[in-house]
Amino acid sequence: MFAGILTLWGQYFGNFLGGLGISLEITVAGLAFALVAGAGFAALRLARFRVLRLIGTAYVEVVRATPMLLVLYIMYFGLGQVGIKLPAYWAAVIALGTFYAAQFTEIFRGGIQSVDRGQREAADALGLSRWQRLRKVVLPQAVMTILLPSTNALADIIKDSSLVITIGLSDLMARTYEATSATFEPMDMFLLAGVMYLVVYLLLSRVLGRLELNVQRRHG
């Protein structure tokens, strides 16, 4: 029986690995989008003007209330109504980026606000400019608070990338589903995919976890 599973796994492993590659590609592209947009919205949320802060807050509140799948459908099916036809790949990347930008906005904001007020005051007392203060004093200290939730967010993006099965991309999840109907051994196929997702997840949480420990040590 085990021999049977192993033959099946051997048969599909290469195919699945290709799917995992696509999943990771979408993940990395989505992450890049989310980081940039997240930094922008965090700046809005911390801005001096009320209107800007309000825009930042509204974005975070609305996006965080919306399920990821719905965001994906809006990008892929919804935008067609106003004449924007995104290819599935870009719809996926933009959807992940839009959704996780809201998470990163909160992560960045939390990190920056976690830095003690006194640090800001000390920098002001030394005559540093706003930008110098952020760059040299606040951010280096905020990094610690930002790293851990960012790792978690990255792990979430990888998992949520599996939603692209619903818009016809050929990622790991989609290939797994195809394989189940080809082999009529769904559990065996899900197990293989599960192991692959878990390996990525554990690598991410363990390796990044260790990296964070190192940074933490260096910064005391």
Partner 1 sequence: MNIGFDTSQMLHGAVLTVELAAGGVGVSLVLGALGGLARSRGPRWLRWLIVGYVELVRGLPQILQLFILYFGLTQFGINLSPFTAGFIWMCFYGTGYAIEIFRAGISGVHPGQLEASTALGLSRFQSFRRVVLPQAVARMVPPLTTFVILELKNTTLLYIIGVPEIMYHANLLASNSQPLNIYLIAVGFYLVMNMTLGRLGAYVEHKMSWAKS
Q: Which is nearer to partner 1, 28 or 155 (CB)?
A: 155
Contact predicate 19/172, CB 8 Å: yes
Six-digit token string for 213:
């420990």
CB of 36 to partner 1, least distance (A): 23
**Interface ranges with partner 1 (CB under 8 A):** 61-62, 64-70, 73-74, 77-82, 155, 158-163, 165-166, 173, 176-177, 180, 184-188, 190, 193-194, 197-198, 201-202
d(CA 114, CA 142): 7
Q: Which is nearer to partner 1, 126 or 198 (CB)?
A: 198
**DSSP string for 14-27:** HHHHHHHHHHHHHH
HSE of 164, CA atoms in CB hemisphere, 13 A? 30
Q: Which is nearer to partner 1, 71 or 137 (CB)?
A: 71
CB of 54 to partner 1, least distance (A): 16
Radius of gyration of the chain (CA): 21
Q: What angle do CA 25, 152, 63 make, to 5 degrees?
A: 80
Q: Which is nearer to partner 1, 134 or 192 (CB)?
A: 192
Q: Which is nearer to partner 1, 70 or 211 (CB)?
A: 70
Terminal Cα-to-Cα distance of the chain (whole angstroms): 53
CB of 20 to partner 1, least distance (A): 12
CB of 205 to partner 1, least distance (A): 8
CB of 128 to partner 1, least distance (A): 34
